[in-house]
Amino acid sequence: MNWGFTEERTRRSLAAPSKVVQAKLPGAVGDTGAEEVTQTNLRHPRPRPRLNASFLKEFVDPIGPYPGLGSIHTFVSKWLESVGSDRGKHCLSDSHLHLSNHGPVSRRLTRSAPEMSSTRGADGFVVPAVPASSRSRISRIDSGDDFNRSLASSTGNPRHPRYRETSLLLNHIYIRHPATPLPDLVTGCIDSIRAQRDSPGLSPDELSQAIYQLDTLEEGCDEDQVAGLLNNTAFPNTTTDTMYGPGTGLTSNSGTLIAQHLVPITPTSPYRVSQPKPDKLYGYSGRMTGAFTEPQLLAKTMLHPKHPDYATATSKALDFPFFVVEFKAAGGTRGDLWVATNQCAGASAACLNVVSQLNWALQKYQSTERIDNLCYSVAVDNNLAKLYISWKEDDRSYYFQRIGTFLLSHPEGFKDFRKQVRNILDWGKGARLTQIRDALDIVLEGNRKCASEAARSRPSPS
């Protein structure tokens, strides 16, 4: 080939671009075709190296081959390799798990790119941009109110180490030391709970079998196994037990949420009490054949001016709850009586709110009667049972205190625990239920008087 002739033609092509426009497509036969190919290559000079070449390379990583674009991908990849940028100088790590100011950009492709902002670092290179959503999230963290809400959300779990000092304490639920002196009213109730019983307890064989099963659970168990054992020995079944069955007005729910409107809340506190879901909850049946007469059920709807179901604690028509049970397992599982105590404290406060509303209705109708606003709870695993009493003072403060601890693997401890559980249920179906029934009668009569006076005060029609 005549190289001199070719170089001369090349110089002419650069001097006269109009001939390039008229050039034929590559592939023509003869020297003219070769000349045209040379001119075509001159129209695509080698691109200048750019500082952002390594940044762009991160985005050229298709997830999979796309039909018809293989050659384009190959061309672009070769072009990026030819720019000669030193990628190692600008990337601290090849990992895409952690983002930093100088870290690589994720290879994950998105359908729409978020709003981005670009800055340059101290080394002069472009720093990977931060999406607008991330910027707004960071700015929210800097805000005091939003930070408190975020912290409140993280500490709203009864398992959180700060649950007692945030969610409970700042909503006026106080877990008191067991040695703190109790009020006189509470002391009198505890004495009745600890009293001896006339009803028969477990037989020697039944007690021995229960202790054997408890010892077996120490090898490994879960909460369901603990609940199954204690439900058959210590906690009566309100659907089948003759002493605590439907005829007594008692009912129980297992694993059912307590209504959110009963959970204590302080408007000024960013921390919230976790909505209780006791493993077992005792109260009264709110159905027609349950603990209350039809007029008393009507009076129950008058306790709250805007919430006719205020006294109903669960979706299964359990009214005026008074006894909370939380099961845990200590045999090779993550059970923890400290967590169970937190759960009992929140659930007990919700139980107290029901009676507090009933006492408010009595005061509204100028009655001097008041109901003793007390309830009980138990945190128990296959080794220990802790018994608590709760009460409410000054219409806003909930107090929670341990009044007994029982070693279940010891026969006397198990018998004493079972006795006090039954005494609590006797109090619930006896003195407490009588007080509530009388209070509902007063509310109903007071409502009738108010309605009658309102009717008489209305002017007669013309």
This prediction's pTM: 0.68
Question: Average model confidence (pLDDT) for the chain?
Answer: 78
Name which residue leads in pLDDT, 388 or 4. 388
Indicate whether 462 belongs to any domain: no
Nearest to 284, CA basis, from 439, 400, 397: 439
Q: How far is it, in rounded angstroms, from Cα 348 to Cα 273?
A: 12
Query: Alpha-carbon distance 214 to 230, whole Å?
Result: 9
Q: List the helix and strand counts (H, then E) for the chain.
A: 14, 9
Same domain, yes or no, for 220 and 330?
A: yes
pLDDT band at 311; cut points 50, 70, 90: very high
pLDDT of residue 462: 60
Predicted pLDDT of residue 65: 46
* pLDDT given at position 290: 82
- The answer to whether residues 409 and 292 belong to one domain is yes
Q: What's the pLDDT band for 394 if we cut at 50, 70, 90? A: confident
Query: Does a structural domain hold residue 460?
Result: no
Residue 199, domain member (yes or no): yes
> Which of 30-39, 227-236, 317-326, 385-394 is predicted least confidently?
30-39
292: tokens are 């209350």
Cα 42–Cα 48–Cα 54 angle in degrees, nearest 5? 130
Lowest mean pLDDT among 307-311, 329-333, 347-351: 329-333
Residue 133: inside a domain? no
* Residues 6 or more apart whose Cβ sits within 8 Å of residue 90: 54, 55, 102, 125
Specify which of 315-324, 333-342, 365-374 reaches the highest per-range mean pLDDT: 315-324
Q: Does residue 65 share a domain with residue 193?
A: no
Q: How confident is the model at residue 3 (pLDDT cuts 50, 70, 90)?
A: very low
Number of compact structural domains in the chain: 2
Give mean pLDDT, residues 45-63.
49
78 shares a domain with 195: no
Q: What is the pLDDT of residues 16-27, one digit of tens each?
A: 444 444 444 444
Q: Are residues 87 and 168 in the same domain?
A: no
> 185-210, pLDDT tens digit by residue?
899 999 999 999 888 889 999 999 99
Q: Which tens digit of pLDDT belongs to each residue from 70-116?
A: 555 666 566 656 555 444 444 433 433 333 344 444 444 444 444 44
pLDDT score for 215: 93
Tokens 């985005």 correspond to: 59
Can you give the pLDDT at residue 153?
A: 55
Domain shared by 88 and 173, yes or no: no
Q: Torsions phi, psi of 388, nearest 5?
A: -125, 155
Q: What is the pLDDT of residue 22?
A: 44
- Give the Cα separation of 122 and 140 in Å (integer): 27
Confidence of residue 308 (pLDDT cuts 50, 70, 90): very high
Return the higher-pLDDT residue of 54 and 391. Answer: 391
- Asked if residue 381 is part of any domain, the answer here is yes
Helix crossing, 3-15 with 31-42: angle to 10°? 50
Report whether pLDDT(306) > 50: yes
Given a cut of 80, whether residue 63 has pLDDT beyond it is no
Q: Which residue range is the domain that position 42 belongs to?
A: 3-92
User: 285 exposed, middle or buried (CB, 10 Å; 0-12, 13-18, 19+)?
Assistant: buried
φ and ψ at residue 295, rounded to 5 degrees:
-60, -35
Is 100 part of any domain? no
